[in-house]
Every structure is written in C-alpha cells, then in structure tokens.
Amino acid sequence: MSVEQALDELRSNPALSENITHWQSLPARKPRYADFPESMNTSIKELLQERGIKQLYCHQASAYDTALRGEDIVVVTPTASGKTLCYNLPILHSLLKNAEARALYLFPTKALAQDQVAELMDWTERLGGTIKTFTYDGDTPAEARRAIRSAGSIVVTNPDMLHAGILPHHTKWMRLFENLQYIVVDELHTYRGVFGSHTANVLRRLARICRFYGSSPQFICTSATISNPADHGSRLIGRSVTVIDDNGAPQGPREIVFYNPPVVNAALGIRRSALLEAERVAKEFLKRSVQTILFARSRTDTEILVTYLRKTFHRLGDASEKIRGYRGGYLPNQRRQIERDLRAGRVLGVVSTNALELGVDIGTLEAAVLTGYPGTIASTWQQAGRAGRGSDLSAVVIIGNSSPLNQFVVQHPEFVLGQGAEMALINPENLYILISHLKCAVFELPFTDDESFGVEDVTSILDFLVDEQVLRRVGSRWYWMQENYPAVEVSLRSASADNFAIIDTTGGRRQVIGEVDRFSAPMLIHEGAIYIHESQQYHIDELDFDRQKAYARQVSVDYYTDANLAVELKVLDVSAETPLTEAQHVWGEVMVAAKTHMYKKIRFHTHENIGWGPISLPEMEMHTTAYWITKADIPRDAAERDALQSGLMGTANLLINTVPLELMCSPGDLGVVAQLRSPFTGRPTIYVYEKYPGGVGFAAQLFENRSAVLMRVQQLLESCPCTDGCPSCVGPAAEVGANGKNHTRRFLREVMGDGPQPETQGLRQFREAD
Amino acid sequence: MDLSQKLKAFVSSEKLTDTRSPADTAGADTNAWGGRQVSNAFGSCCLIETRYVLPHQHGTSQLYDVLGCASVGLEMLLREPRAASLDLSKTVFLDTETTGLAGGTGTYAFLVGFGFFAAREFVIRQYMMRDFPEELAMLECLHEELATVQTLVTFNGRSFDWPLLRDRFLLSRVHPPPIVELHLDLLAAARRLWRHELPSCSLQTLEKTILGVRREGDVPGAEVPQRYFAYLQSGDSTLLDDVLHHNTLDILSLAALYSALSKRGTASPKSLRWSSEAEGIARLHAEAGRHMTALRYYDRAIDLAADRKTLRRLLLAISFCYKRLDRFDRAEPIWHALMDDVPVCCEELAKYYEHRTKDLARALHAAEHGLRLAERLQPQASERFRHRISRLKRSTRSGAGLPG
C-alpha cells in the first residue's frame, strides 16, 4: 500500500507532478504454464512439487526439451522469470542419468556464482547428494581445489578464472574435460564489447581443450532482452544457437514514471540536477518504508547520492545506516554484507551503479529510481526489473539528466516503451584480443596448421609471433617458447591487467579501500582528487604511478573534483570510405593520445566551479578504430569559420550522446574529437573513436549505420524545445557560441547530403572479411 | 593495410634486433655433448650417459658413502617408514631442466636427468629433446627407464619436477604418468635441519655450507630457459654444455645430500656440530612421543646455541617435553624464566597453578601478567587470557578451590 501512497504523492503534489513527462501503467501479465516433461527424472519432479511448483512456465519446458534434443540454446527472458530452471532441469536430469557427466557454469561475476551455487547445492542435496557442486574462483582455498578438480560434477566459475586458472592447467582438470556435457553461460547479454570479445576467445580455447580430451559439450545460455540473441550467442560460442524467448512468467502491475527535472535557467536551458531530483523522489518512497533501489550513472554519483540520502534520513530521525552504497571498488566482504542486509530488510535504500543490474540476489524491492537513462533500453529494463518481483504493485521512476540523450528519452518515452532492445556487439577478431588468446591457446596445447580458431586462418598471426620469438614453429606445429605464463598478462575486463590500489593513510593506518583501473586512474585518483568511498571523502595526497598506488586521507569538504581530458588523434589507416563530395565518411584506424592536464573543484548542491589544480601524469597512447566525418572545405570568411566551428562542436556533442542509443554501448566506450582543421585530413573533421585498443566493432558499425545515426542526431536537435541551442542538445553556449543550434542544423544538412547515400568503397571488402 | 603490416605496425615489440630465422635443430650434433641419438616408435631424442667410478669424490664426501649409509636416518628425518627398506638398486636421483618455473601446460621439461648405482659405478643418464617434437620420444624413453624404479629421490620434486613430468605424460596421451612406490623429497628434511641456521635451503646453499661443493663456470638456474631458447634459435649446441653440466652437478649433489642427511639422522647428540641440526632431530623425536630422547638432543642444541632467540625457543620446547613427561618440577622454572617474554608460558603457569597446585591467586596473577604481555606481543591471544581471567575471578569469588 505504501507504494501506492508514494505514487499518489507524485501524482498529486504539484511540485513533483509538473515534472512528470509521462506516466505508463503496465498491466499485470498472467502466467502461461506447461506440464512437467514426461521424460524428466521422477525425483526432480517430486522435488519441484515439494517446493510448490506444480507446472513449469512454458519457456522452461521448451528449454528442457530443446536442450535434451542436443541443441545449443539461448533463453531470452526478463529478470525474475525463473531462468535458472531452464538450465538446471536438463542438466540435473542428465547428471542423474550419467554419474560421470560434468557441467561447467559460467557467471560473469563471482557474486552471481556464489549466489547460484547456494541454490544449486540445496537442490542437489535433496536429490540424494550424488551430484557434487563446487564454486571455483579466486577465493577457493587451495586444499579444496584438488577435490573440485576430480569430484565436481558441476563446477561453477567465471570467465576470468577459466581463462587464467583452469585452461592453462587443463591436465589437472582432465576428469572435467573428458566428461564435459554442458556449459552454461548465464547473463549472456553482459558479454559484449571488450569483455564479450575476450570471452568469445576464451570459449574458443575451451573448445580446443574439449576436443583434445574428446568431449563436445553443449551450450545453454540465458540472456536479458537484446535484439540479436541468436547472432550474439553464436558469435560468442562459435556455433549456431536456438533462441527460446516465449516468456511464460507472470508479472505484477507496474507504474513507470518519466520525470524531467525542472528548468532553473530558461535562457541557458539549465535544469536542476538529476541527482537532487532523485533524492527528492526517492525520499517519498523511503519515508513510507518502501524498499527502494537507486541507480546512479557513475561511482561518484553513487557516493554523492548516498551522502544526500543519509543526511535526509538523519533529519527524519531515522538511522542513516539504512541507506547503503553498492558499486565496484567495494571489497567483496562488504558487498556480501550489503546483499544480506538487503534481503533481510535491514537496509531500506541502496544506491548502486549498474553493479546490481545483474542477477545478484537481493530479494524483492518495491521501487526503482533510475538517476539518468542507463544508456541502453536493455539496461533500463534490467534496472527496472529490480523492482516488483511477485505479483505486487511496483514503481519505476526514470529521471532524465541534462544530457541530450536523456532529454530525448524523457521527452520521447515511446523510445523506451515502444521498441525492442539494442544489439549486443562483440568483435572477437580484434587483433589485440585475438593475439592475446592465441598465445594462451598455444601455451595450453601446441597449435597445428589444420586447426582454426574462430577465424579460418591464423597462420600469419602465429608466424608473426614466431618472428617475435614468442612461439617456435617446427614443421606444421607452433610451440610456446617463453618462460612466462601468458594468461596473467591478459585481463578480460579492461585494457590493462593492472589496477591501482587506493590506500587510506588516515591516522597512520595503511588500509586498501578500493581499486581503479589504469585508464581511469588519471581521471579519478590524480593528486588533489577527492575520491569518495562509502560516502566518506578522501583526499588523494600522492599517486605513485609506477607502483600503482594512491595514498588517500579522510577529509570532509564541500566539493568534488572533475578532471579534464585532452585528446590528440592521428590517422594510421583507412579501412573504408565514401567518395569525397561535399563531405566524406570514413572508418579506419587511429592513434589516440590522451592526457589529463587539470581538474576542477565543484561545490556540492550548487555545482559551481570553485577552483582548479594541475595534473601532471604520463600521456596514455592507444591504437584503436574510429569513424569520422570530414567536410570538404574550410570557409575563408572568419564569421563563416566560427559558424562551422560551432556546428562541429554541436554535432560532436550530439553524436557522443546518440551513438550509444544505436549501438548497445555505454557512452564511456567512445570518445569524440572535433577539429576545424584536422592535421590528417586538412579539413574540418569530427572523429568518434573507440576507447579500447583495437576497437571492438563500434566504429565499423557506426560507419555502416551512419544514416540512421545522423538522422537520430537531427531528430534530437529538432525535438529540443530551446530556440538557439542549449546544454541539453548542442552543448552550453560557452562552448559552441551563440546560435549553435542553427549552425549545427546547417552542418548536419551539409554532411548528410540529400537523397540516397553513394555506394561505399571498401565496405565490400569489410563484409567479405567479416 | 594488410594483416602482416598491421601486426608489424601496432603489435610488434621493438626490442628485437636479431631477425635471423630460427635454426633447424633436428640434426643438432649429438656428439657435441658426448651423447648419442636414441630412436623409438615416436621418433628420436638424445641420450647423454656419464659414469663415475666409485668412490667418486664430490665436495667433501664420496658417492660411495651413499651405499654404506643407513636409510633409517632418512626414515626418521622424512618421517617415512618405507624409507627404511629402500632398495638402492631400484632408486634414482632425478632432476629436470625446464623452459620456465611458472608451471602450466606450456612449461616443458626439455632435459630429464637421473643417476643410479650400478656395480661399482654411479651412472647419470640425461634425456634431452633437441627440439619440441622430440618430447614424445623422450617421454617414451623415460617410460621404459622408470618402469622398474621403486624409489625416486628429488630436491623439491614433490611440488615441481614430478607434477610437471606427470603433466607432460598426460599431455602426450601415450602412456599414463609413471608410478613410483616411494618419492623422497630431500628438501623437507633439509628444511628440518637447517632452516634456522642457513639463509636459505636451496641446493646451491647446501652445497656451499654442508656438502663442500664449489661450482665453477656454472649457469645459474634462472638462466636455463633462456639458454635453451637461444639454442633453439641459433642451433648452437655449445649453448647447452653448461646446462648439461649444471644438471649433472645437481644430481651428484642430490646423492651427496642423501648421504649427509642419512648420517645426521642416526647421529648421536654429541657428534652433531650445529644447534639447528640437534633441534631439528629433537623436534622429530618429540613429535613421535620419544620425549626422553628429544631432551638429549635439545640439551645438545642448547650447548651449541648462539643467540637469545634460539635459546628461548629451545627452552620452551624443553618445557613442553617435561610437561608431557609430567615433570612439572622441571617445567615450572622454565616458564617462570620466560614469563616476561613468551605469553604462552604465562598461560601454562596459570593452568598449572589452577589445576595442579590449586592456587587460584597465583593462577590469576600469571593470567593477568600474560594478558598484558599478549596485548603487546600477540594481540590475537588476548581473548584467551581474558576468558581465563574472568573464569578465575568467578571461581575466586565463589570461594571454590581456595586453600583454607
């Protein structure tokens, strides 16, 4: 009932309701059932009945049937639809039938794996205890590992551990690999971008090892809604898959509210901060004891929100411990504690980054507040799915921030409500990634020239590694010829294996409080930065870049810091291009040099700039792929040049916010640079580049879909209610100058041309190569 | 830009200056090493055999001594009863040279050497793969050689050489890994005797300090993998001369160490020259429940002990022997002497007063003293003292056990 009261308040309090741009009531959905499959093991049937399950949802039954027919499957259903049964039923059935058979479960994170194993163990115990389930991850004690290797019927792990801990030692896992019948890949949609491209290669290695031991396991994957599950699944596991997406699970009624923070300065088009509005909205739920999850867009935002809400709660006379933060960078024990407290109801409100988007079990929450559009439709539904398990009413509030993308979404709710989710993209052929895993593969087993590795011919890469004295070729075989262990040098999650540790030195102690990856370090933990952890502020006193350590001290200040990133760019190679007419579109390879020069101090609440400081850290260089638009010529006239500059900036701002909509990626995966006279083209150019070495396919995809993307940019520009341009579309006037909207409109018209796009040179090769 | 250009431009490490194409080592000159080529169904590899006529001198000892030494000494030092009935004619001393120390299936044992006693000789056989494809033939030879072996003697072989060889056999998919009845890893015994005395228990350190072996012109173990890779790249077989020599020395030292350890294991307390040796042997006796014998060796260790830290450790160990023998009259003075340095002595005293002499006041005093000490030296033990103190206080109040 309290959910309804909070919603009533949103509806009836004018200070809140005037900001609501759309209110959508989603009706409850009835379940659709199927009988237990006849062939299914009787003790499993009995166990299901014991737990009050009399029938299966139709998608569970069809997953069982399809899996037992021997097909590789991807089950695509929303959060809380009982997807674990989709793999547990056929697998438990098969393992009961054949005691020697083995299964390998892969979860994207350790937390998810631990969660699933607890449930699975409960099942197997009740099934007589013949099926042994073990988690194998970095936390597994050394004594337990031997038993797991030989006796584990079901081994639950994550791709990182498979990559660095299991495959390089496959002889110790002989029993598993000889008898491997099933591989489960849970949360398939999370394996996209860099992580997905790496994982696809880890699975290629796994397939080689299975062939060596004479097994050919079958895949069962589950995924949240994406638009290309069949394609994505088959790219990832390297085989064609059968998609099961006929969801039979019920859903309680849901109220989805789109909320746009009020304009505070109409002339400059500045809106109130989404963080402040999120606090206002969340308060309505929390003070009625509605268990609520808030999603923030960044680690910093998470901590700011926790700080705000704790203060509010304190004023309301309630314990501020009822509000907790949850994000990457917290230590595992701390995270487990928060998860338990959420399930037990000891924590009322949790503020999280997308870390809680996945299936970590935190029990039933009643409301979700999304601070900012999560970047993709799929993520939006995942985050919204955190509220409303069971058949009770639940509420989801999506609060737009001032970015163009967010403004578009809150003003066009049909964009989220009316269409399917995005595609998940991976590029297992990324040269850097492919080479890393070929090295690991040769380490695991010598490579022969009749083998393939996803791509048909890898002999030229292997021979290159021979030149590099990493491998040795003898006849038709390549052997590993180094002392080291290649897997430790390859991290599946980021561009570099090495993280920076943040050490709290307050009062003479030395305690590690968190970690930051190498590329984020110059932005987040430069000297003078305010790093926030568990809503405690830390001042970074010293960053020891070589030793990868930052020394921090607890402080209490009224500002946070924001670092500026300067990027330079050099074109190395053109992969495909359109003919140069009035404009030209290109896809190719570039070298990006990024350097942080300074940071700003920004006051809480008012968000005013109250000072700055220099940053002197080494430049980060990266070879990657990019898409760029070049305009034919630079006007002579100075005023015209300024107008063009303004149009370039405006388009760049719009692009960086639009592209994530079209390609399922986060804005952080891409960078944009606009240059009036690019050193490479000698012409006005906008580059959109991938922030991962070698790229994972976004630039190529962007080049191919450029018409759709540029049309979306136009739509975004025209749908903004401002007249001359504002921070929500082309960017602040201080950056793009006056009349930025008009200049951008003109630039777009010129580079898009009218009529059909000319045939692309080079694209054909690209398709063939693909 | 095509693939190979891309590879060169973006991925290539610029460190390389040597662009010669790798050598073909298949026909590497086996004679250069004084060996011969052996062939079987899986191809061929190289065998180098060296014979040492007994009593061959190695360092300060003679290999001949191995034949005469009593294996009961080792049985005790390794706590391995089966060592007592060991048959030296079916025993090999084994050591491998590998392409790395990291482990995992990409680490190869390119040279496997082992020594054994035959008639009046000590024979060392070294099997070498002259290139990767020769591994199968090498493993086939080892399979045959090791089939009749009962006992394997290694140095750190339990965690390194043997599991690595096992992995190589598993990967070959031809023969299952060889099974030996008994594997004696001398590292464990060496640690027991010399851990407190020497900076490390590596074979090199033991050679210098215990075996009197001086290595000259030896290749350091850490450089061995690079030597092998350099040989593969260049085809220059002389690069491996030092590696073969290194492996030979390791095996000879292994045999010498075997005899040195056996002698220590049966030595009388008087004949021992180092405190740590006497202590190591004493501890083994104590662990086996032979407290009287242990005390004799501990006494010898005390005679030879040089520093306060060692003395304190020995006295504590002695006090526990006395405790096990129910000789509290001997244990109590030691605990008293150490009660300002070692929290556990306070704990023992407190137990002794509480349960044996039923003197709760003194027990409480010892426990409180122990708590102060523990808080400073050993915080994790504080909790135990607090428990004991509160229990003692309760008993004191209730008057139970108070004398008169």
What is the layout of strands, in order, in the sheet containing A242-244? Answer: A133-135, A154-157, A102-106, A180-185, A218-223, A73-76, A242-244
What is the longest distance spanned by two Cα atoms in chain B?
A: 101
Percentage of residues in chain A with pLDDT exceeding 70?
92
Q: Looking at the DSSP assignment, which residues form a beta bridge with residue A330?
A: A328
Angstroms from A53 CA to nearest CA on chain B: 46
**DSSP SS3 for A261:** coil
Which of residues B14 and A122 earns the better pLDDT score? A122
Of B10, B133, B167, the CB nearest to A623: B10
CA distance B291 to A629: 87
CA distance A377 to A651: 23
Q: Do A445 and B100 touch (CB under 8 A)?
A: no
> How much is the pLDDT for A497?
47
Is the link from the previous residue into B177 a cis peptide, with omega within 30 of 0?
A: no
> How much is the pLDDT for A329?
67
Query: Where does chain B hold its CATH 1.25.40.10 domain(s)?
Result: 269-398
pLDDT for residue A331 is more than 90: no
CA distance A112 to A191: 14
Angstroms from A438 CA to nearest CA on chain B: 13
Residue B170 sits at the chain A interface (C-beta within 8 Å)? yes
Query: ipTM for the complex?
Result: 0.86
Q: For residue A176, what pLDDT band results from cuts at 50, 70 and 90?
A: very high
> How much is the pLDDT for A240?
95
CA distance A409 to A424: 20
A717, A748 contact by CB (below 8 A): yes
Relative to beta strand B57-58, strand B61-62 is antiparallel
- pLDDT tens track, chain B, 404 positions: 677 777 776 566 554 444 456 666 655 666 678 899 999 999 999 999 999 998 889 988 888 888 877 777 888 888 888 888 888 999 999 999 999 988 899 999 999 999 999 988 999 999 999 999 999 999 999 999 999 999 999 999 999 999 999 999 999 988 999 999 999 999 999 999 998 888 888 998 899 888 999 888 788 888 999 999 999 999 999 999 999 999 999 999 999 999 999 888 888 999 998 899 999 999 999 998 999 999 999 999 999 988 888 999 999 999 999 999 999 999 999 998 998 888 999 999 999 999 989 899 999 999 999 999 988 888 888 888 999 999 998 888 876 544 43
Q: Do B133 and A431 touch (CB under 8 A)?
A: no
Which of residues A722 and A199 earns the better pLDDT score? A199
CA distance A341 to A5: 25
CA distance B35 to B50: 9
The backbone region for A575, taken as left when phi is positive above 0, alpha when psi lies in -120 to 50, beta otherwise, is alpha
Q: DSSP string of A600-633?
A: EEEETTT--EEEEEE---PPEEEEEEEEEEEES-
> How much is the pLDDT for A107?
93
Instruction: Show residues of chain A in contact with B129, CB under 8 Å.
Output: none
Residues in Cβ contact with B166 at an 8 Å cutoff, skipping those fewer than 6 apart: A171, B177
Q: Do B13 and A484 touch (CB under 8 A)?
A: no
Cβ density class A318-341: b for 16+ within 10 Å, e for less: bebebbbbbbbbbeeebbeebbeb
Q: DSSP string of B322-367?
A: HHHTT-HHHHHHHHHHHTTT-HHHHHHHHHIIIIII--HHHHHHHH
Tens of pLDDT, residue by residue over A411-442, are: 888 878 876 677 788 888 888 889 999 999 99
Q: Do A479 and B132 touch (CB under 8 A)?
A: yes
User: In Å, what is the CA distance from B159 to each residue of B101, B165, B188?
Assistant: 11, 11, 11
Q: Which residue has the tokens 């929303």?
A: A78
Q: Which residue has the tokens 């000879």?
A: B252
> How much is the pLDDT for A221?
97
Residues in Cβ contact with B25 at an 8 Å cutoff, skipping those fewer than 6 apart: B130, B131, B231, B232, B235
Q: Looking at the DSSP assignment, which residues form a beta bridge with residue A550?
A: A502, A543
Angstroms from A623 CA to nearest CA on chain B: 7
Helices (H), A19-109: 42-50, 58-68, 84-97
Mutation site, B1, B2, B5, B7, interface A, largest A CB count within 10 A: B7
Q: Which residue has the tokens 């045999």?
A: B255
pLDDT for residue A769 is more than 60: no
B347, B370 contact by CB (below 8 A): yes
Of A483, A572, A694, the CB nearest to B102: A483
Q: Do B105 and A573 touch (CB under 8 A)?
A: no
pTM of the model: 0.81
Angstroms from B297 CA to nearest CA on chain A: 34
Relative to beta strand B57-58, strand B43-53 is unpaired
Tens of pLDDT, residue by residue over A133-160, are: 988 887 787 778 888 887 889 999 999 9
User: Poorest-confidence range of A218-227, A601-610, A616-625, A653-662?
Assistant: A601-610
Mutation site, A435, A481, A570, interface B, largest B CB count within 10 A: A481
Instruction: Show residues of chain B in contact with A171, CB under 8 Å.
Output: 105, 166-167, 170-171
Enter the DSSP assignment of A322. G
Q: Which residue has the tokens 């070589």?
A: A546
Tens of pLDDT, residue by residue over A470-483, are: 999 999 999 999 99
Angstroms from B379 CA to nearest CA on chain A: 17
CA distance A443 to A169: 10
Residues of A engaging B, defined by a Cβ cutoff of 8 Å: 168-172, 174, 431-432, 435, 442-446, 460-461, 464, 466-469, 472-475, 477, 479-487, 572-573, 589, 623, 694
Which of residues A201 and B86 earns the better pLDDT score? A201
B72, B263 contact by CB (below 8 A): no
Return the residue of A nearest to B225 by Cα. Answer: A483
CA distance A47 to A123: 8
Tens of pLDDT, residue by residue over A230-263, are: 999 999 999 999 999 998 988 889 999 999 999 8
A3, A394 contact by CB (below 8 A): yes
User: In Å, what is the CA distance from A473 to each residue of A445, A467, B5, B101?
Assistant: 13, 10, 20, 22
Q: For residue A588, what pLDDT band results from cuts at 50, 70 and 90?
A: very high
Instruction: Show residues of chain B in contact with A461, CB under 8 Å.
Output: 3, 7
**CATH superfamily, with its number, for domain A2-28+251-417:** P-loop containing nucleotide triphosphate hydrolases (3.40.50.300)
Enter the DSSP assignment of A161. H
Tens of pLDDT, residue by residue over A480-529, are: 999 988 998 887 875 544 578 889 998 887 888 877 767 678 888 999 99
Could you please state the CATH topology (level 3) that the domain comprising A33-244 is classified under. Answer: Rossmann fold (3.40.50)
Of B7, B26, B99, the CB nearest to A464: B7
Architecture of domain B19-266: 2-Layer Sandwich (3.30)
CA distance A116 to A121: 9
Percentage of residues in chain A with pLDDT exceeding 90?
42
Mean pLDDT over residues A48-53, rounded?
91
Return the residue of B nearest to A588 by Cα. Answer: B1
User: In Å, what is the CA distance from B304 to each residue of B184, B190, B297?
Assistant: 29, 19, 11
CA distance B23 to B230: 10
**DSSP SS3 for B391:** helix
Amino acid at A208: R
CATH number of A499-557, picked from 1.10.3470, 2.40.10, 1.10.8, 3.40.50: 2.40.10
Q: For residue A195, what pLDDT band results from cuts at 50, 70 and 90?
A: confident
User: In Å, what is the CA distance from A56 to each residue of A68, A72, A85?
Assistant: 16, 21, 9
Q: Do A469 and B229 touch (CB under 8 A)?
A: yes
CA distance B235 to B237: 6
**DSSP SS3 for A104:** strand
* Domain ranges within chain A, ordered by starting residue: 2-28+251-417, 33-244, 431-480, 499-557, 567-594+620-769
CA distance A735 to A419: 34
Instruction: Show residues of chain B in contact with A435, CB under 8 Å.
Output: 7, 11
Statement: B269-398 belongs to CATH 1.10.600.10: no
Of B22, B105, B226, the CB nearest to A445: B105
Residue B131 sits at the chain A interface (C-beta within 8 Å)? yes
Fold match, A2-28+251-417 / A499-557: no
For chains A and B, count residue pairs whose Cβ atoms are closer than 8 Å. 100
